[in-house]
Amino acid sequence: MRAQAAAALVEFALVWPIALLIVFATVEAAVWSAEAYAARAASLAGARAGSIAGGTSVVASEVARRTLSAGLVGVEAVVWCPGERRPAPAVWVCAVDLGPAIEVDVGGSAPTLVPLVAGGGLPLHARVVMQKERFSA
């Protein structure tokens, strides 16, 4: 009887970390999926705001930033475009007026809930290009 209890304790000690890893990985995947969806929805909302008559890239980036910030956990989105001199923030939004269209990019990396690697994060990227509205008489 004592040998069975010891064997069960050893089995539990071996299986418990694996079960915990599976639970943490599942939660992390769910959070990352939600944040990736938020990035796509934010870039689409920004592109819609910038493509209406009178819309600008400034309006598009601010709408995307506000939309994205509501869906992120532990980080705030910042208006920043690749190529700027200042360092890249963790999560950024960039809107560019292409003339007949507007492009909204969301990028960066969201922090992990269980940091396994120092400085690591979950990659986020979404890009939407939308034609601007034109009215003809």
* Domain locations in the chain as residue ranges: 2-131
* Residues 47-70 pLDDT 10s: 999 999 888 999 999 999 999 988
| pLDDT of res. 137 | 67
| pLDDT of res. 119 | 65
Tell me which fold the domain 2-131 belongs to: Pantoate--beta-alanine Ligase; Chain: A,domain 2 (3.30.1300)
- Tokens 């071996």, located at residue: 14
| pLDDT of res. 45 | 96
Residues (pLDDT < 50) of the chain are none
